[in-house]
Structure 1
Amino acid sequence: MGRAAFRATHAKTGGKFPPKKGSAGAQPHGSNEAIIKEALRSLDPEQSKIEAAKNPNIVLADEALNENWVNDGNGGMKPATSFQEALDYLASRNAQLFRKQTANDYELTEIVVHLPDNLCIDDPVNVSYVLDENGKQVISEKTGQPLTKPRRIARDPDEARRYFNDAQEFLTEHGIVAGGHDGLHWRTDQYSEHRPHMQLGFDSYAVDPKHPGFLRNEFSRKWFSHRDVVYPDGHPKAGKSVSGKVKLSDYQTAMREHMIERGWPVEAEIDKANEGSYLGKKNYARADNNRIIAEDRLAAAREQEDQNAVDLAELEEADADLEERTQDIAQRETDWLTRKRKLDAREADLDRRDQETADDRLAAQNERREAESLNAAKRAEIARLRALREDVERDLAAAGPAPQPPSYDDMRAEFLGEQSAQLTAFAKSRKRPDGTTMLDDFEDWARAKHAKLTRQGQPVGRYETWRDRTAAAQKRLTMAQLNDAPMRASERDRGHGYGE
């Protein structure tokens, strides 16, 4: 079931609304001209763009569906063609007041009647944006995108028009509007916003009983407490002024009864907590938006909770992985330290080997230098020996051929001399006990001497000749030794080393 209700917003002269909660004074609307231009904006495409910039739920493509009328002054309504028509009608009504309006007098009441939700369907193309109290789009905490809600459109435009006609009839003919139909300035049926609705511009002027032909402002009598409007006799509060809240509650009840009587499927009763009040366009939208925002936040919180659970599981898994990685890193560090120690030891060994190599290289260089020095000395010695050999060869050449060793008989004859025969005879005559003679001993001695001299290459002639030839023989012997064996250092130091 839908709900039949209306919202009433009152503007003072100059377009000021009542103070907002928490504010110090009336809130400026700009002027009542601005109120009229907002309501009848579809008369001017440029004005539609201006209002759409303020209200993102206005679908400019649907502005052509809106219908606008103004009071024709003859008990009827005519299609509006300009804002000026509504402004002129307001001016004509103000001109009929006996007491002229002041800045604190209420001049215009805007009434909004929404099409019940059960007479609407969701727009398959467009959505409505959820707005905060400042008219700004609300960003979803769940998706990060602008928060939206289904846009509602009339299921049947003709049905919607009939509903709005019945609502207008109730407001103008059942005492809600002080001046009846004459108090109705303009009407617009809106199909381009979030939900189809009718907006009506009223004044609260009625015939002034004290001044025939003039009007008076009965705003307080209709909407607020007034001393002339009291509870009737028999009522528990008889004689007391009826409050504006009670008046509004009675108006809403009367409207529901009227719409039900006309056959509209709307609720007969409302929640006692909301009885006597109607949220109205802005308050209803605010409450609906707050509900959607709360649902979005709840969904975001639940999603975040689920995500937190996933994150927790991932963190636990990450902790396990971290522990495993920590152990792996520790093992790798241990392995690295082991390898480092081995590398350090190898490096030290290489350093030691490098030092040994350097020492060996130095020793080799020293040995090489020493060998080179020895080779140089050896080459010098060889050169000296070659020079010595040349000297010896010259001496040998000067000495002539070497004498041949004498035969035993020659040596024996030379040794015995002229007395050889006598000595031989004498020696033969001298016999020994063993049967040998002195000659035998002599012969043994002579032969041994001959053999010895022959081995040494010495002659057995005259002493001087023998000594000279013996020296020459020794030189030849020395050359033979030089060709076969190296010379000792002691021999080098003493010179040639022979004949001493």
Structure 2
Amino acid sequence: MTWTVTYDASPEAKVKAAGSHAVGRDRHLGRGPDLAAGFAFGHRNPNIDLARSAMNVSFVNDGGGGFRVPVVTKDPMGRNRPPSAEFADYRETRLAQVRKPLRKDAVVMRGVMLQLDPRYFDAHCPDWRATGLSDEAQRFIYAQLQWACAEFGQRNIVGGSLDLDETSPHLQLAIVPVTDDGRLSQKDFFKGPSHFRKQRKELCDVLEKAGYEPQRTPTARSTVRTSSADYARTADKTRAALAVAKRDTEKLWKERQQVRGEKARQSEIAKSIQSDREDLDAELEELPRLRGKAKRDAMAEARTDARQEVTDVLLAAQERERRATAAEQAHRIAVRDLLALRKQIQQQLDDNPAPPSYDGMRRDILGAQSHVFVKFLKTTKLKDGTTLMDRAEGYARKEFAAHQRRDSDALGRYSGPSYEQWKVRNMEMQRKIDAAKFSGQVADMHRQHEGPER
């Protein structure tokens, strides 16, 4: 009699780098050791009987070519970690061998389920729910594990679990798809439906060598009349089979939708590629014209720049010539003024052959002092653009305002001179004071020159 062989590596078992799917997968595989160590986590699978979870055989890669039972470890804070945490530890160790950084959507692990025919267990070890599997059944399970190690590489098997707390015994494995050259690529290990069929055939070959008689092609199961007791015993199994069938149907529908979506996406990509190709052909046809236009534009731009440069040089030369002409004119005017001054001085010398006296020079200086001072005030400019004369005018007006306040009566009325009269009077008084001071200084100079009186 032949028995069915189930090899399930569905895309739904993919575990990506981002999210908590990996933790849930680890706890599902290690629920037996976790419960034994006092760690209880919720599970959504309705077929799990937690009363029998202690019978599960969970194992983790020991990193030395074998497997061991996961145990309780400590976190950096010294707190106990569940045994299932060791799956994550080994997975991170294996992923550290990947050369490129992992993307968030990268598939870092994929689940695989290997299951023998449920009828086989009913026929050869019907009490497996209470006493576990027979030696022969364990040998077949071990043959499946050996095949998985050869197919995916022992280093890539994070761990697994022989589940005995569900409807039928089955072996679940967690595969990290790391290639020998350090790439993370699930497509190198799970290439598609035809490759899955090839893998299943090779698995059947291994089981056949171990003594199991695998059913090579799916066949319709014959109708068997059973008693009420047998029906009661298989009711749970039937419900589980219906749940699996529903899951497989939904999975097939999703895969079909994914295939349709992928076909649509590929069609869009093909259209985009065709459009890009047409655009590229059009650009290639336009390339000679665009190249000639670019060459002409470059030459035109170069001519424009050359003209502008010549224009700038001519303008600069004209500006230098204008400045030279202006300087020459200024020089001629200065020479003319000097000649006129020379004539004037000569005329004065001719008109006054005798040198001026000291008193005459003093009178001339005193007479010109106000004119010289006013000229100095008007021509000396400050940083803000004003002149000293402006500042002096402002100061004089402030002084006049103070004079008005002092000479006003109790009612604030002022009847004195105007501002111009007041200024002329003060300037006249200042000239007298200056003249007196100058006369006194000259007298002192005379006395010093003539010596002390005798």
Query: Above 0.5 in TM-score?
Result: no
More helix by share: 2
Per the shorter chain, which TM-score range? 0.3 to 0.5
TM-score by length of 2: 0.42
TM-score by length of 1: 0.39
Larger Rg: 1
